[in-house]
Amino acid sequence: MAQPVVPRRSESASVRLPPHANAEVHARIMADLQGMTPDEFMVSLVQAGICTPDGKLTEHYADQGEALDAEE
């Protein structure tokens, strides 16, 4: 079985984050992410327009160096 994309935080983690304004929605999204394989996660990034199918950031999300590298 593939490792989840987003590992579960340990209950004993030393860093405690403040509660989210939308804690219920955040918990549902995190559960979905934790259940995804790397391939499923990549598909979601492509569908959202964050990455191209070859794994590069789209122009909107790339910094100047990455955007320039993509054009070469």
Q: Which residue has the higher pLDDT, 60 or 10?
A: 60
Which whole number is the average pLDDT over 29-44? Answer: 93
pLDDT of 65 over the 80 cut:
no
Which whole number is the average pLDDT over 60-70? Answer: 65
pLDDT of 43 over the 80 cut:
yes
Q: Which residue has the higher pLDDT, 18 or 5?
A: 18
* Residue ranges covered by each domain of the chain: 23-71
Which whole number is the average pLDDT over 21-38? Answer: 91
Q: What is the pTM of this model?
A: 0.58
DSSP secondary structure of the chain: -PPPSSPPPPTT-S--PPPPTTHHHHHHHHHHHHT--HHHHHHHHHHTTSB-TTSPBPTTTS-HHHHHHHH-
